[in-house]
Amino acid sequence: MDLIAQRRHMLTGACYNDLTPELVEARARAVHLSDRYNDSFGRPQGEREQLLRSLLHHVGNGAHFEPRFRCEFGFNISVGEKFYANFDCIILDAATVSIGDNVLFGPRVGIYTANHATDPDERTAGACYARPVKIGNRVWIGAGVHINPGVTIGDNSIIGSGSVVTKDIPSSVIAAGVPCRVIRSITQDDRTGFSAF
């Protein structure tokens, strides 16, 4: 099975063989391209975005990862406009990872779509499956957050530092903890009157 067919199979959520030569080569490509991107720090933003576009499925204008950024394949990741990730972001993208506009990541955020088989014989043989992750618009993910397979985080929400997100988080809430849970809604009372102008 070629890489395109394997990718389609992975995206269905069915078990796939993580050890095939095509997937090993695709991972090596992602390491090479992410190294080029990371090493371009300080160069003009347009050049850096072009490198990022060669790695990821979709890149909005103004997208930026601080070094060091790592992903598993890259071809299943879409980031929106004005996305910013602080240093040491890791994304395992065997399934789709969709990140909206104006999203902020603190340092050392990890997104994991892939999981290994439960059965030890299947796991040793390379059996994996993956579930998509979706992050809405204007979301803030705190430092050291881990986002697990199959999670959706709604628009305008905040995930507190050190959280482990194992289930969907609705829009316009502050959520935190291990496992992550909703603390409260974001309301008009959170407005401070700040203006950048």
DSSP class of residue 47 equals H
Give the Cα separation of 99 and 105 in Å (integer).
11
pLDDT tens-digit map of 130-163: 999 999 999 999 999 999 999 999 999 999 999 9
Q: What pLDDT score was predicted for residue 193?
A: 82
Contacts of residue 50, defined as CB under 8 A and 6 or more positions apart, other chains included, come to none
- The label of the residue with tokens 């507190």 reads 160
Residue 116 designated active-site:
yes
**Who's near 11: CB < 8 A, 6+ residues apart?**
76, 95, 96, 130
Angle, CA of 146, 68 and 12, to the nearest 5°: 50
- pLDDT at position 45, please? 87
Catalytic residue among 32, 58, 116, 146: 116
pTM exceeds 0.75, yes or no: yes
